[in-house]
Structure 1
């Protein structure tokens, strides 16, 4: 009992109050994340669109997200984290309802585009706020806890959505919108602004030519490209996996149960990951993650039953669990304090580009080369990404170490003092 209590205290203790409000908002939001899980099935089975048309709609979601994450990163640095988060959640809720009511392909496509824009505009501000309020020594466990909340909500949502979809698909859109509004309310009432601005804080304002600074940061951009490759593989579980399972004669409810294994495994194991990878080379961890994800998706080529699909999900989930906290802490250390929102936005852009292209590429490969070629191609891309992580890792660590020594990645002392009320522990 004492050992368990000590582990719980080491895992959750001492984190800022603002972090826990953000964590709560994440959990509530993800509990209602029904739509993205079932959008491919909804489009093909309920609306009667083809796999290519469904891929196009999902791709437009990603295009909107690419714009949103770029704009959101800029607004987080200039306007503030809190107003950006609040506006993005309210806008996403409105677009979610509009998408649920849309019927024609053009209306569905436009709704997906705008929903992606608002929903993804929140991510850079959220990431920057997490870095603002959580000390560097606690970020690994803070990001792991947040990822745990994401997947606890995802696991519950996947199961509930499979049941709700059998009653009425519109219910999925309405519940998803409601959770976004609740999250916006938490941000409005309980989350303070964490962007430190003022004449005495020299690093708070983004310098002129911020975009040029990022585009000249080859080490960071290389890391973004590798994340893009990993995301192209990982996001097939949203677009092509439900279609593949449908072709195998499995129902939407079965898909919901199978994909929920992803969240269940993360809920059970993610809290132990920080101790497992602490002190290990992040390049090696990221390389292992890419290989494991590649193997998991590659085995989907041979799946035909629910249990086999479930096995593949469990395998690539292990890779996902290793990837997420390592990615989050590394991007925090590669981001200068004055450009956190923009760096988060550019990094998030890799996810949005993947979100736009993964369903389109997956649909094209599947239709023209076959199901096996798609999944075995995912395995090959995973291995190539792993090799690239091993080659580029030392340069990333040198860059992070240089930022730490120069102090460019830190909030200055007077800004930390000004932020003291937000740093109280829960």
Structure 2
């Protein structure tokens, strides 16, 4: 762990002050999202919501995420990413503090919708800020630094959240969560000054209809695979956290440790895995398909009853799946998109995770309420295997497409030379 942190801070020291502060801000912000893993547990234990009601609240969580991503893209173009980031973190911090006072089902739904809409405006704006504060040749590294900050926060956040719930109570969790958001953006606004891009991105009005992202069949298949991986992933924060409590009677600290295990493994191995795949030029879609398979297999281990070891192995397989799918899924979309359409491709790709959140939480809670946890794990396993088959099939579709493009290039060359 010491070596890991040394390597992180060694890479950290190479960047500009703005990028460093952005990484620290993201770490504090991610550390502060300690409420999210315990939200379902809070609604069940403290608010006494039914499974169906919890499912609907998490639907609003996903809808808010979808709206926040879309609004952020619009506002970042109009008023700039800086103002969006400051507004998002400061306001969401206040809403986090106020959320504890909303105890009825409808008020909590509205509060969660407002919270996620405003808080999810941060990430798209933050990604745009990297294009401004990081040099052209260091943007990829800067993004990796921010991802490492997210993983560090994800590693410690759930554990700290569990300790706060156990030692204090949920009200302090909401309070501390809100204050970390406010603290992070105050730090950002003090040390980073607004800086605008020297140019404005083109709009897409001139693009022809046939260039629509929804007519790119390989991209659409990839979008379905992304949707499935999102559904498998988001159940970690909803049904799985309830499963820890109701079946194994874990404390909040013990539940937090499992999510911390996920963060530790990602921090230890993800960058190395990405580097190895890039260096060896391994087919990234094949890696994604293996990642979806690992996520599907992970839920099989939950069918083993009364085994803590099975929970650990499940989390290891799930983490392997996350490390194999998330980085390379993003890479495929960026390469797939035409230069002038990258914004459209990335927007649709990002929103697919918001839709996955909506489908994941509602379907999971409904299945558990009607048929129990085991039925939900079987459903997720089957869904994961379907995602694997689609992802694996996509490998051959894209390879065939590349061969056709090469063939057309050769034919065009011969046609030109014969004239």
Q: Unaligned regions of 5+ residues in structure 2, if any?
A: 406-419
Answer yes or no: is the 8 Å Cα contact 2:241–2:255 preserved in 1: yes
Cα distance, 1:41 vs. partner? 0.6
Q: Match of 2:306, SS?
A: coil
Cα distance, 1:160 vs. partner? 1.1
Instruction: Describe the superposition over 1:142-185 as per-residue Cα deviations: whole angstroms up to 9, x where unpaired.
Output: 44433322121112111111111121211111222122223323
Counterpart in the other structure of 1:52: 52
Matched, 1:175 2:172: no
Answer yes or no: is the 8 Å Cα contact 2:293–2:385 preserved in 1: yes
Counterpart in the other structure of 2:415: none
Cα distance, 1:40 vs. partner? 0.6
Instruction: Describe the superposition over 1:203-260 as per-residue Cα deviations: whole angstroms up to 9, x where unpaired.
Output: x222327796444555444433321111001111111001111221222222112221
Q: After the TM superposition, which residues 51-90 of structure 1 pair with which residues of structure 2 at under 5 Å, given as runs?
A: 51-90=51-90
Instruction: Describe the superposition over 1:301-346 as per-residue Cα deviations: whole angstroms up to 9, x where unpaired.
Output: 2243433322211221111122222133333334556555554332
Q: Unaligned regions of 5+ residues in structure 1, if any?
A: 199-203, 403-426
Counterpart in the other structure of 2:96: 96
Cα distance, 1:103 vs. partner? 1.2
TM-score (normalised: structure 1):
0.82
Counterpart in the other structure of 1:326: 328
Matched, 1:157 2:162: no
Counterpart in the other structure of 2:39: 39
Cα distance, 1:370 vs. partner? 2.7
Please say which of residues 287-296 and 83-92 is displaced more in the overlay: 83-92
Answer yes or no: is the 8 Å Cα contact 1:73–1:343 preserved in 2: no
Cα distance, 1:363 vs. partner? 1.0
Residues 20 and 331 of structure 1, relative CA distance in 2, 3 Å threshold: farther
Counterpart in the other structure of 1:239: 238
Aligned equivalents of 1:95, 1:209: Cα separation in 2: 40
Cα distance, 1:112 vs. partner? 0.5
Counterpart in the other structure of 1:256: 256
Matched, 1:228 2:189: no
Answer yes or no: is the 8 Å Cα contact 1:129–1:195 preserved in 2: no
Q: Match of 2:205, SS?
A: coil
Answer yes or no: is the 8 Å Cα contact 1:92–1:115 preserved in 2: yes
Counterpart in the other structure of 2:205: 208
Counterpart in the other structure of 2:108: 108
Aligned equivalents of 2:55, 2:37: Cα separation in 1: 14
Please say which of residues 381-390 and 358-367 is displaced more in the overlay: 381-390
Counterpart in the other structure of 2:297: 295
TM-score (normalised: structure 2):
0.83
Residues 311 and 138 of structure 1, relative CA distance in 2, 3 Å threshold: farther
Cα distance, 1:360 vs. partner? 0.7
Aligned equivalents of 1:224, 1:93: Cα separation in 2: 32
Counterpart in the other structure of 1:364: 366
Q: Which has the larger radius of gyration?
A: 2
Please say which of residues 90-99 and 9-18 is displaced more in the overlay: 9-18
Aligned equivalents of 2:5, 2:365: Cα separation in 1: 48
Give aligned pairs, total: 393
Counterpart in the other structure of 2:276: 276
Q: Match of 1:101, SS?
A: coil
Cα distance, 1:26 vs. partner? 1.4
Aligned equivalents of 1:176, 1:210: Cα separation in 2: 43
Instruction: Describe the superposition over 1:112-155 as per-residue Cα deviations: whole angstroms up to 9, x where unpaired.
Output: 11111112222222234446666787666544433322121112
Q: After the TM superposition, which residues 392-411 of structure 1 pair with which residues of structure 2 at under 5 Å, given as runs?
A: 392-393=394-395
